[in-house]
Structure formats: C-alpha cells, structure tokens
Chains A and B, each alone.
Chain A
Amino acid sequence: MPNNSSHLPFVGAFDAARPGLPGAGLSWLKDFRETGIERFNALGLPSSKIEAWKYTRLKPLEDTDFQPVTDDDGMAALDTVPSLLPNPGGRPRLVFVNGRMRPNFWIEGDLPDGVHLDCLRDVLTRNPDWAEAHLGAIAGDEAMPLMQLNKAMMDTGFVLRVDDGVEIEQPIEVVFIGGLTDRPVAYFPRNLIKLGKNAKATVVKHHFGQGVGAYFANAVTEIDIGEGATFNHYTVQAESRDATHLSTTHVRVAKDATYESFNLAVGGRLSRNEVSVRLEGEGGHCGLNGAYLMRGREHCDNTTVIEHLAPHTSSREVFKGVLNDESRGVFQGRIVVHKNAQKTDGHQLCKTLLLNTGAEIDAKPELEIYADDVKCSHGATTGQMDETALFYLRSRGVPEALARNLLVQSFLGEALEEIKQDDIRQALTDKVVHWLPAACFLSEEWRDA
C-alpha cells in the first residue's frame, strides 16, 4: 500500500480521489492504479540527477499544492470554445474543461463507420475488456515516475479506434481547456489511439488556458499504428502563464506504417513534451517535428527518443525554438539504432534562436548506434537573429519590428513546412504570428505577397 505520509504530491490524495476516478468498480483497474502509485512513491519526482531530467526541474510541484479536479471544476462556466482550425462546423470535436468532458461542446461531425471516438470514462464503462487489453500496452515504462503517476491518477482522456482499412480525412479536434478554477488543480489525461491495418487518421490536440489559475496537467498518450497505417498527430500547447503541462507520448509504428507529428508550444510556465517512438516493422517511418516560442520565464522541454528496431526504417526530426526574455528551452533528442536495424536512415535537426541574452537553451542531440550499415546524422545550432538579413529588410523600408517578426517566421518555416496538410499548417502559422510582438504591417497585400 502506498505510504500516505509521503511528502510526494498526490500520494496523500490518492485514496480520497479513488472512488471518483473512472472505472472505480473494475478490479483490474484497481490493481493497475495501485501499482502505479506504489512505483511513483518508490521513484519519487524526477530530479536533476536523472540524466533525462538534467535541465528541467519540476519546481511548480514543489511550491504549489495541486489537488485533483472535481466534477464541479469540470462544470466551470464557459460560453464558447474557439476552434483552432477554420470552419469548425462539420468537424468531429471533443472538448474537455479542467479534465472533464463537456458533451455540450461535442461536435459529432461526420465520423465514418469504423471510427470510434469516445472519452476514456465511457470506454471503461462500456468496453472494459478492450480497455484492459490496451491500457499500458504501449506506455509501460516502469522507470518513468510521471507515467506511473498518470497510471494511478488518470481521470480523463479520449480513445480513438480506427478499424482496418478505414481512412478519415477530416482532422479530429480535441480541445483541453484549463485554468477556470480559483484553486490549483491537477488532472491526468490518458489518451489511447489505435489504428488498424492501412487505416488513416489525423488528430489535432489543442491545449489552452483561460483565466489565471495555476493548474497541472500530466498526460499520457499511447498510440498504436497498425501495418501500413498513417497517423498524423498535431498538438498546440498554448497553456496559460501559470500552467504546468507535462505530456508523455509513446508510439508504436508497425511495418510500412507512418507516424507524423508536430508539436507547437507557445505557453505554459513549465512544459515538457516527451515522446518515444518505436519503429518496430520494416519500412516504418516517423516524422517528429516541433517548434516552441517562449517568453518571460517560461520553460519548455522537448525530449524525444526514436528507436529503430527493424531494417529499412526511417526517421526525420526537426525542432526549432525561439527564446525571448529569460525563458529557457531544452531539447534532448535521441536516435537509437538497434543491432539488426540495418539500412536505417535517421536525420535530426535542432535549431534555436535566442532573442535575448538571459534566455537559455540546453540542447542534447544524441545518436546511439549499434548497426553499421546506416545513415544517421544530426545537427544543432544556436545563435541570434542574422543582423545582415535584418539590415537587408530595413534598407528596403521594412520597419524594424516587422522585419524581426518576418525573420522569426522564416526561421520557423523550416519546421512548419514539415506539416503536410495546408489548413493545419496555416492554423499553426497563425498561432506563431499571434505570439509575435505586435508590429505594424505595411498592408495586407504586402503581407500575403
């Protein structure tokens, strides 16, 4: 049994919270949660002594007493939910407020037969056997404390299942809204995504904060991509200034399957996007890309591991960061090529733009290679804005503020270009423009030209 006198956050609240958590009546889930809290209790919070946490300290968890959300928190008043993508009508969309699903914002959209989209709570009630077989099947790392904490406390999340051969063109939008409470709350989404053979789907996750309250989100997403299937995964993290957003994603890519993802981070006091992709079948591919724009004292951490376990697999990774004020960016990217994964093709690029001395980037691009017939490379740069490019623009009459914005945009362009769908790329680019400081544009036509 967990030691309730533990100083670790949430351990004390576990017993009290348990009856309210989804699937409370399921005995296998009870064991699942208990092993989670025991492991978490044994591991403790990650400290800087752990190599993977060398540059990120979970300070908010030390100085804020977060409490699990209640149903009341989930009913916080909310008028409308803005959509990230244009023309929200007709698109399937799920909305979670403070970790509770809000059916009134649900848009059914046109989900074709063979696509099942539910919230975790419903799946645990209606289809517990499926949940038992799939929960923790992909994300089972015993050594990751935050994953163990999620295992114990998971209280929300969505489940997407796409049957063999079913393709859904429309992106599915999932919105997580936080911050609408006056006390610091915590919620623990667990998302499960499973694509059958030759299936295809796109999910756009949008995390954003409203109000000013501090909150803590610790999400785990498990993605299983079947043979020949394609999954596009886009995330926009625009949490509020006081939010702590930790996200762990584990992906399994089967033979000839593709995983494409882009993570845009523009908010959060502390955010960490941890992704682990296992390319398990021949011909598997993954594109793991992202951009982050930080200001103030924000801290953003991208930690990724791509494991090539089969021959003829390929991966491509581009991360771009823009850091202003006293913000801090961390990039830890590891490519592992296992013994029999011959003919692997792996490329990784991480570039950072520092807009202010005082901002800090810590980058650690790693290659770990055990097969000889491979092509792997990585590159990393940090530096400031190109002064000659700035001069060029200004000499042509572009105001300085605008010129700077343009250069930041063009810097991020290399990463954003990795997004294949036009409307999603445009939506993310708009987010970037929105982040930039206001600058007077010469004219709309000029801007679009």
Chain B
Amino acid sequence: MTTPKVISREATSSELDADYKWGFTIDIGSDLAPKGLSEDIVRLISAKKEEPEWMLEWRLKAYRHWEKLKFQAPKWANVKYPPIDYQDIYYYAAPKSNAPKSLDEVDPEVLEAFEKLGIPLQERERLAGVAIDAVLDSVSVATTYQGMLEKHGVIFCSMSDAVKNHPDLVKKYLGSVVPYSDNFYATLNSAVFSDGSFAYIPKGVRCPIELMTYFRINQADSGQFERTLIVCEEGAYVSYLEGCTAPARKTHQLHAAVVELVALDDSEIKYSTLQNWFPGDKDGNGGVYNFVTKRGKAAKNAKISWTQVETGSAITWKYPSCILQGDNSVGEFYSIAITNNCQQADTGTKMIHLGKNTSSKIISKGISAGRADQTYRGLVRMSAKADGARNFTQCDSLLIGDQCGAHTVPYIESKNKGAIVEHEATTSTISEDQMFYLRQRGIPPEDAIALVVNGFCREVLQQLPMEFAVEAQKLVGISLEGSVG
C-alpha cells in the first residue's frame, strides 16, 4: 500500500528556513483583492465566487456583527502577541488561472506545489485510497475521486461548489453548529471565508475511503479563512483528515478557520488533523497565528471523535468541541500538542453533555520545549438533564528544558448528581534515568527524546488512521529537533 506523503520528511527543504521542511513558496501569480476588510470586500469575495444572494446576506450579517466586536478579540487565552491589524491583510487570494474542470487543466505550477508537499493529486496515486480536496490560499484547486464517491452518494467538494450545487444542504447546516455570532474569529471567518471542504454522507452509508483536505497558505500577508462542513446522515460514517502547511515567511500569517460537524442519529464522524503551519523561526519571527473554531454536534447514539497533532503555528488557539445533544452520544478528544522554540499554544476541548447517558473522553498530551508556552484549557459541562453522563479526562504535560512552561486549566461544571466526571493531570519532565538508560544503549540524545516522547504520546497516536500515524510519529521527532543542547 502506498502511503500518501502528507507530511513527508523527504519534501523539499526550504531555503528560507532549513528547519521547517515545508517552507518553500511557489510563484503562481495570485488574484488578489485589495488589503483590508470592508463591506465591499465581503461583497467582492461573494461576487468572485458567484454566490447566491442568501450567501451574501449571511456574510454581511456576520460582517456587521464583527464590526461591533471590532476590538474585542478574546484576551483570556494564555498567549501573547502584538495586536493584529485587520486592515493589513489580504482577505482573498486565489491562484490566477480559471477554475479547472479536471485535474489536467490544473495549473502545472500548482500541481507542482502539491507534488513538492507529497500530496497525491494525480490519478497514478489512485491506490493511496484517500480522496483529497487541496486548498491553496483561499481556493480549492482540486478534488480527487469525486466520481467514485458519487456512486455511493457521498458529496465531497469545495465549499464554493457546494454553495452552487447543493444550496439546500449548505443553507440547512451552515452555521448550525458554529453560528456566525459565536466568537470574534468565527464571526470574521463567516464574513470572509473563501473556501474549504464540504462533505455529505447520506443515510446508512459508510464512506468507502478516507476524505482529506490539504490546506496551504502561499500568498504573503494573506489570511486563510476556510470553512469546513461535514454532515453525516443517520447511521453514516466518515473518517476525515486534514493537513496544513505554509511557507516560511518573516511576517505573521493569520489563519482563522471554522469547522462544523453534524452527526445525526447513529452516525459517526472521525476527524483527524495534522497541523503543521509554519511555526516561525527560532527567535519567534514569522509563523502562523492559528485561531480556529471547531465544533461538532452529536445527535442520538452518534459519535464524534477529534484527533489532533499540533506541531506547527506560532500561536495556536483552538478548542475542538462536542455538543453531546442526543442521548447516548459519545465525544472523544485525543490531542498531541508540541511547542518548541517560541511557539505558544492554548488548546483543549469542550464537552457539553446535554443528553442522557452521554459519554466523553479526553486524552491530551502536551510537550513543551525551548522557550515555548503551552496551556491545556478544557471544559466539561454536565447539564441538569444529563443523567448517567460520564467523562474521563487525562491531560499530561512533558517539559523539556527549564525555559518552557506547561499549564493546565480544566473547567468542570456539573449540575447532575448522576453524572460522573473524572479529571487527572500530571506534569513532569523526561527523567535522567530514562535518558541514561537509552543513551547507555547507544541511542543518541535526540533519538532518545523522540522515543520517550513517542511513548508519551502513544495513546493518541494509536487513534490516528494508519497512514497519518506514521507521518505523525516522524513529525513529533522533527518538531523537537534542537530541543536538547
């Protein structure tokens, strides 16, 4: 079986920053809207995408709400960065050529870009068995396997195509989990989102292959605001993968995405992320600000499982959450977050238990090295109606070096005596004994650390689809390079 080289060590190394292997840029010529955000820009984005009136109205509603929020970006997270000038960002950047009808028409330079990343867009990679939607800057450039998926009734396409071709579905579910007024970044995203992926799995269908979206920011000073919506009808199942990289640039790039999952009765959605946005250089110059809102709503007997490996971004602000609305629904959150050098991450999850006998499990592994700061922030809420609900949370932190920080901030709110919540957290370092044992056997220090860290993360790595797991393990090792002196 060929492994899709999602994040591959062999990918071309960057001239800008040798440590970040995905830092190249490609000169493909972009169609840029002027910098800054205004009602006109929102109209322009909508017009460029030939959107129907209702879509524009929704965007404008969001924009007007955002105007009201203008200077109220959330400040509670444990991350520090200079204020963002929202008027100094490109809100729309697209590869110049017209929308391709098939893969053959895709701009060769774009294809080359994805080739460099090891993304198998070409048919020859058919055996890889993953349907991919590739999003460059703000626009989906290619989606593979659509024909095969159609036979099963599965819709997998870019968000703009979905707005055009499946307006009823989009209208019904867009904003149903993350409303446009949800939070500052989600509101911004609702106003200016330019693309993303849309997946719809009809009743009773088990999606035959894994769906994947590959995101890349290419244009300098641009923001990426994609929006993903996955709808699983009754009894359906889908496994969805997401990977991200960006060129190494000296300035910061903003990424404010929204992901909505709708799991109807008896369905299951498994969502895996390998986030490897450019983390900035050793001194904290450049890097992506990753401010993402991800949330799923689970109906009766449904299951939503989030798995994330977060190694990139200068700043991560991300809390994939589950609203366990239906009785017996299940939410899971498995996370590995690695911060090195000057990276900062404030990440975790929210499990909102509303239905009876709902259960959730949170396993979070945080590794902090260099001068990085990392916070696990999680909420488990048991509503008064959640009889028999159950939660188990474990969050462990590993510190490498005496300049970094690791913090744990769980919120536990229970209003139901029949609900059981268990939380445990530990913080420790790689012990001298462990290092001595491995080094004694001739294992170099860097490999020894990678080994210990992989063991520390094992519970989460096991949750990843196989193809992803191999890459993730490598990524864990690479992310920590240079963390031992």
> Please, which residues of chain A bring their CB within 8 A of the CB of B416?
354, 357
> Please, which residues of chain A bring their CB within 8 A of the CB of B404?
370, 372
A124-171 contacts to B, CB under 8 A, are none
Q: Verify A381–B402 contact, CB threshold 8 A.
A: no
Q: Is A436 an interface residue (CB 8 A)?
A: no
Q: Verify B407–A367 contact, CB threshold 8 A.
A: yes
Instruction: Count residues of chain B with CB under 8 A from any CB of chain A.
Output: 35
Q: Is B422 an interface residue (CB 8 A)?
A: yes
CB distance from A226 to the nearest CB of B (A): 30
CB distance from B397 to the nearest CB of A (A): 7
Q: Is A375 an interface residue (CB 8 A)?
A: yes
Given A51-B76, A357-B417, A358-B415, A367-B405 contact (CB < 8 Å): no
Q: Is B420 an interface residue (CB 8 A)?
A: yes
Using CB atoms, name the residue of chain A closest to B381. A362
Tell me, in angstroms, the Cα distance from A366 to B377 when the chains sit together. Answer: 9
> Please, which residues of chain A bring their CB within 8 A of the CB of B18?
none
CB distance from B363 to the nearest CB of A (A): 15
The 8 A CB mask of B395-422 against A (1 = contact, 0 = none) is 0010111101111111111111111111
Tell me, in angstroms, the Cα distance from A47 to B414 when the chains sit together. Answer: 22
Given A365-B423, A367-B425, A372-B402 contact (CB < 8 Å): yes
The 8 A CB mask of B263-281 against A (1 = contact, 0 = none) is 0000000000000000000
Q: Verify B427–A367 contact, CB threshold 8 A.
A: yes
> Please, which residues of chain B bring their CB within 8 A of the CB of A363?
410-413, 423
Most chain B beta carbons < 10 A, residue from A339, A355, A357: A357
Most chain A beta carbons < 10 A, residue from B76, B397, B417, B425: B417
> Please, which residues of chain A bring their CB within 8 A of the CB of B419?
382-383
Q: Verify A382–B408 contact, CB threshold 8 A.
A: no
Using CB atoms, name the residue of chain A closest to B411. A364
The 8 A CB mask of B50-75 against A (1 = contact, 0 = none) is 00000000000000000000000000
Q: Is B428 an interface residue (CB 8 A)?
A: yes
> Please, which residues of chain B bring their CB within 8 A of the CB of A357?
384, 387, 415-418
> Please, which residues of chain A bring their CB within 8 A of the CB of B410?
363-366, 380
Tell me, in angstroms, the Cα distance from A358 to B424 when the chains sit together. Answer: 25
Using CB atoms, name the residue of chain B closest to A380. B423
Tell me, in angstroms, the Cα distance from A54 to B194 when the chains sit together. Answer: 37
> Please, which residues of chain B bring their CB within 8 A of the CB of A381?
420-423
Q: Verify B429–A364 contact, CB threshold 8 A.
A: no
Tell me, in angstroms, the Cα distance from A368 to B368 when the chains sit together. Answer: 13
Q: Verify B418–A339 contact, CB threshold 8 A.
A: no
Q: Is B440 an interface residue (CB 8 A)?
A: no
> Please, which residues of chain A bring their CB within 8 A of the CB of B427?
367, 369, 374-377
CB distance from B94 to the nearest CB of A (A): 41
> Please, which residues of chain B bring their CB within 8 A of the CB of A360?
413-415
Q: Verify B424–A378 contact, CB threshold 8 A.
A: yes
Q: Verify A383–B420 contact, CB threshold 8 A.
A: yes
Q: Is A232 an interface residue (CB 8 A)?
A: no
Question: Which listed residue (B387, B400, B421, B424) contacts A383, Cβ 8 A?
Answer: B421
> Please, which residues of chain A bring their CB within 8 A of the CB of B421?
380-383
Could you list some 25 contacts between A and B, CB below 8 A? A51-B76, A342-B402, A356-B417, A357-B387, A357-B417, A358-B384, A361-B414, A364-B410, A366-B408, A366-B409, A367-B397, A367-B406, A368-B405, A370-B404, A371-B399, A376-B428, A377-B425, A378-B408, A378-B423, A379-B422, A381-B420, A381-B423, A382-B420, A382-B421, A384-B418
A-B pairs, top 4 by smallest CB distance, nearest first, are A354-B417, A372-B399, A383-B420, A363-B412
Knowing that A362-B411, A374-B427 touch, tell me 19 more A-B residue pairs with CB under 8 angstroms.
A354-B417, A357-B384, A357-B415, A359-B415, A359-B417, A360-B415, A362-B413, A363-B423, A364-B411, A366-B409, A367-B408, A368-B407, A369-B427, A375-B426, A378-B408, A378-B424, A378-B425, A380-B422, A383-B419
